[in-house]
Amino acid sequence: MNSSVATEVVRALKLAVFRRDASGRLRLHPPVPDWLTALWPAAAAAGESAHGVSPFLDNFLIDAAVYWESGSGPGVGSGPWLETDGRGGEHHLQGRALTSGRHALLLVEELGPAFDERRGILQKAHEVALDYERLQRAEQALAEEKRLLEQRVQDRTAELSRANLDLKSEVATRQRYAEQLRALSLRLVEVQEAERQFLARELHDEIGQLLTGLKLSLEIFLRSAPATGAPSCLEVLEVLDELMQRVRQLSLDLRPHLLDDFGLVPALEWHFKRFFKQTGIRVHFRHAARQTPVSPQLTTAIFRVVQEALTNVARHARVPEATVRLWTAGDWLGAQIEDHGRGFDPEAALAAHASSGLFGMKERAELLGGQFTLDSAPGSGTRLTVEVPVAGTLSVPAALHTQEDSP
């Protein structure tokens, strides 16, 4: 190799080259790099041996000596180390023991910027590693968060399904209550009706009979009474007549006995006559010629609905007449009350809940599994239709016996 070229290369690489002489000393070979002058000024000036300038290097030289002695292999490296010069400058160095031909050489290189760069890379790597750790920790935290969230969702779901179960049982309970209420309402209507029936009969048969007996006795007494007592006795008779009339009306108001004795059609006809007398409203009654016998319960319900609806006609419709229709179709009994009066908004009236009439009719029909339809509009009259199934126990109304009875 051209010696000057080699020198230039050594200079450019900022290498310090030591050659080992026969006595084992390591002597500095020019050119001397600047870093060495700064670091070990004494060694640089005197071309002194590499021994004794740096404890790290000394340590390495022990290994290097072993290598040189054996004289084989590609050489050994020291690995990088750090020295600080007298002015506080830092020098990253790396040594390598070589053999070149017969010469044993020690090269010491200043790693300089290249090393810094590597360190930078290492630093980066380290930071990346740190970041990775952070990332991992974050991920873990996230996973934990997710797990907690899932737990919460699970808890909430359990809560919800518990609530759902509660709700379901609540609904069932309410349904049961509704059914009980329905049964109770039905029972209430029945009890009320039975009570009315009892009172009507009691008034009519018992009290009425007593008054009749009283009247008869008075009449007989009058025949043989002294003339002086007669006028006041006649007065008493008048009062008695009045009383009997009142009792009869009261009984009929409670429940018309025709309903129990003859059924719906005669009872309705009777009612229409009475209604006409009381209100001046004529009722046109249209009904199919034949009526299938229905239970007293249904008979009563239909009678009450017609009664209530006609009361409404008298109170609200402002008409001189109304039509009532009664029919059976299949297993259904229907009644309809129609007037061509003022009319009204049925939805508003039913929603208002302020009145009991319409609502009572609707409830009565629905309790019996029937339908209640209200067709009305302001200015165009009212048509109220009630239809109830005749199903279930069909008992013939307690009508009076007829001639068909067997002897």
Partner 1 sequence: MITIVLAEDHHIVRQGLRLLLEAEPGFRLVGEAADGLEAVRLVETLHPNVLVLDLMIPRLHGLDVTRQVRRQCPETHVVILSMHADEPYVMEALRNGATGYVLKDATGADLVHAVKDAMAGRRYLSPALAERALSSYVERPGESELDVYETLTNRERLVLQLAAEGHSSPEIAKQLFISTRTVETHRANFMRKLSLHSQTELVRFAIRKGILSP
Ligand X SMILES: Nc1ncnc2c1ncn2[C@@H]1O[C@H](COP(=O)(O)OP(=O)(O)OP(=O)(O)O)[C@@H](O)[C@H]1O
Q: Which residues bind ligand X (CB under 6 A)?
A: 312-313, 315-317, 339, 341-344, 349, 355-358, 382
Nearer to ligand X, 279 or 291 (CB): 279
- Contact between 298 and 333 under an 8 Å Cβ cutoff? The reply is yes
Reference 29, options 93, 90, 108; nearest CA is: 108
Would the CA dihedral through 351, 357, 358, 363 be positive or negative?
positive
- Residue in 112, 208, 346, 357 binding Mg ion, rule: CB under 5 A: 357
User: Could you say which residues in the range 344-373 bind partner 1, by CB under 8 A?
Assistant: 373
Residue 212, C-beta contacts closer than 8 angstroms, at least 6 positions apart? 244
Give the integer Cα–Cα distance in Å for 46 and 48.
Answer: 5
CA angle 186/187/193 to nearest 5° reads 95
Q: Which stretch binds partner 1 (CB under 8 A): 65-73, 131-139, 173-181, 243-251?
A: 243-251
Reference 316, options 332, 335, 339, 300; nearest CA is: 339
Note whether 312 binds Mg ion by CB under 5 A: yes
Nearer to ligand X, 68 or 344 (CB): 344
**What tokens were used for 397?**
């109304």
Distance of closest approach, residue 257 Cβ to ligand X, in angstroms = 25
Nearer to ligand X, 111 or 310 (CB): 310
Give which of partner 1, ligand X, Mg ion, none residue 83 binds (C-beta under 5 to 8 Å, depending on kind). none
- Residue in 210, 239, 391, 394 binding partner 1, rule: CB under 8 A: 210
Would the CA dihedral through 345, 349, 350, 356 be positive or negative?
negative
Give the integer Cα–Cα distance in Å for 34 and 41.
Answer: 10
Note whether 293 binds partner 1 by CB under 8 A: no
Q: Helix, strand, or coil here: 157?
A: helix
Q: What is the dihedral of CA 202, 208, 214, 215, to 10 degrees?
A: 180
- The dihedrals phi and psi of 343, each to the nearest 5 degrees, come to 75, 170
Give which of partner 1, Mg ion, ligand X, none residue 220 binds (C-beta under 5 to 8 Å, depending on kind). partner 1
Give which of partner 1, Mg ion, ligand X, none residue 294 binds (C-beta under 5 to 8 Å, depending on kind). none
Nearer to ligand X, 80 or 357 (CB): 357
Give which of Mg ion, ligand X, partner 1, none residue 370 binds (C-beta under 5 to 8 Å, depending on kind). none
Nearer to Mg ion, 232 or 356 (CB): 356
Query: Which residue has its beta carbon closest to ligand X?
Result: 357
Distance of closest approach, residue 240 Cβ to partner 1, in angstroms = 9
Give which of ligand X, partner 1, Mg ion, none residue 339 binds (C-beta under 5 to 8 Å, depending on kind). ligand X
Which chain residues interact with Mg ion by CB under 5 A? 312, 357
